[in-house]
Structure 1
Amino acid sequence: MPFRKTDSKGLYLEVFPNGSKLWRYKFRIAGKEKRMALGAWPDISLADARKRRDVARLKVLDGNDPTLERKRAKRLARMNAGNSFKSVAEDFIKVRMENSGKAPATIRKARWYVSLLVPSIGARPINDIEPIEVLEALKKIERKGHRESANRTRALASRVFRHGIVCALCKSDPAAHLGDALASPVVTHRAAILDPIKFGQLLRDIDEYTGTPLVRIAMQILPHIMTRPGEMRLGKWSEIDWGQKIWNIPAERTKLRRLHAVPLSEQVMLLLRELHCHTGGFEKMFPAQQSHLKYMSENSINQALRRMGYGPDLVTAHGFRSTASTFLNESGKWHPDAIERSLAHGDSNAIRGIYNRGNYWDERVQMAQWWSDYLDELRSGRKIVIGDFAKG
């Protein structure tokens, strides 16, 4: 049986049969005797135990029960742990992004932005976070030269706080007005060749590329189809409708989260048949060189362009889209909306986007073939300048 060694003013040391010792404070409140644990000896010395007793004793003299205050503090700590910025951010990503079908890449980026804030405010109860705390966390990112990341992280944090407001976990968004306190990101445009003669030389250089056949064919196809590099690189053979000459890119792989049908010209069909000779036995159209179970690296095309002598300030894989958009618009032959549909762009005018439901399919089919024919003319070395477009 345990026994006690008393000190004074209700403090005693309880000694257990196994040798452990625990400081306790005995007091009466509302006529009822109660006990409060103050910590184990020798971790808590006699002097420390007396200090803790004195703090609790003052609360009792004021008519407060220190054991109830301790229980409330523990409940608050548990509640705050579940309402930390990190936990609310995780709930936001799950409810507002994963359940809404956002692209895996978008979700990974959101988690990365949250990870930048976790060291500073991740464990803080979301309702207690002040604007200065968020700003200090963002300034750490900015001081590393990552201006755009700082601004995007602020935007993501603001969405997390607004999610917390909706869930009644916080009352305000301390990140809402911090944008003016951050340096504006340096705007960089994806490099693209907008001179027809120079682009023709690039097409010839691509044909002469001596690297892996898959990368060469990818570089040959991409200028024709006007998709984003990732939409092409992650393609599967099941998406190709050989009879209708259409590449159906599923919604989950597009930026606008909607199916994007790409009309395929005769030139692209020939390139796909060549590609099929290399990877037709696999699910993936552009598998990795080491394993057909993985996709070709997202940097493969840009690295190939660099090896060919085209620096990042001159051209990028994504820049092929800018080239197509510029040349097609300046040709004057095609409706701007047909071009935008081919590029899988959203409509910048919200009202116009609601009513403009046509996908210009017939015109897009004609445009795809015309565009491939024009690329062939550039490749052949025919000196066509922008002014010649409307005459073709």
Structure 2
Amino acid sequence: MVTVPVRSGALEWIHVDCPLCGADDAEPVYERDHETGSTLGRLRKIDVLCRRCGFMYTDPRPSAADMRRYYAEASGASGSVFHAMEPGSRLRGLIEERAAFMQPLVASHFGSGPGAILDIGCATGDLLEHLDLPEWHKAGLEPSARASATARTRGLEVECGDLESTSLPDRSFDVITCISVLEHVHDLRASVGRIRQSLRPGGLAFVEVPDSTRPVAQIAEFFSFEHLSHFTRGTLVRCLAEAGLEAIAFDEQVGLPNLRVCARRSEQIPAKAAFGTDDAEALRRAIARYRRQREAFAETLTRRLNDRVDRWATRDARVAVYGAGMHTRFLMEVVDLGRSVTCLLDSDPRKAGSSFLGWRVFGPDDIPRLGLDAILISTNAFEEEVYSAIAPTARAHAIEVVRCYG
């Protein structure tokens, strides 16, 4: 991958050739302004489509150093805004769904003996803890210091670090999981190559990334500022194959608009695959549909919320937004909440006591003492769970609860 740095103000913008095939022949297919916070400010992100292989990626992009500065400030923007692992919760359902895909493949491949697994981007270790691998050594890698520390309190061996900068031992793991990671990395080829190198011969990699042919229209941007690579089923298979990882099974029961695949380490890395552009037209159609749906949704939501926001401002109401994440960042762009918002709420233990968008983040248990008049739930995936969890407390304290989607 060729990179050409261009300095613009406080940022260094990097031009990259296609991370998948190496060609320097791409056309812009999606552009959007992103408010990234005080470190990088407001930026226009351009995603392009390689004319040679049909891979979609961000070009130009902020340098790796600038992105590290962004993540240091916006560490609270990622991850679930409703961290509940009780039976029936959405997060528990996702963990169980992933485990249900993995367990039979691991059992059929390795039998019942001992082994070693590494979860890259393991957060607080929910998946590692849930997997039924009693004789296996479980290890994790997690960039958040707070999340990795929480995982260690659960008895898991978790190192604080990321895939691109942490030294991983060669041929040391039978299974590596990499969920919601590859779309973030700067050097895609090198990152996938490191996964293969850390697998033992015949080892399995379980990879999950957003499916760019199924973007979901909501307030939060599907083609996130943080996502530098946008995969289709075909480009994901080719990306893995070029590194020596052969896709052997896709999960056809994924509850998210994601791609979930199991790939096996191959001892012979194939010659560069013949590239087609079959995915290009599917991506263009998906992007056009997504743009129309998102604009219509934003217009409807703005009309619905503006009356409430004006009413809150008129009576000097104290309002909390539930969700210290990217959804709230985008919501602030379409609705002027700054006049009434006094704080944020979030049940993710990694965010408690931190600051996001200039507001302090509290946990749901703090609601009774905050003197709130209203709570606006700012999440799509967890809206129903959040509402069910806080509604009794809100009713007891005469707090209005407003949903974006329900």
TM range (shorter): under 0.3
The TM-score normalised by the length of structure 1 is: 0.22
Between Structure 1 and Structure 2, whose CA radius of gyration is higher?
1
TM-score when scaled to structure 2? 0.22
Greater helix percent: which structure?
Answer: 1
Write 1 or 2 for the structure with the bigger share of strand: 2
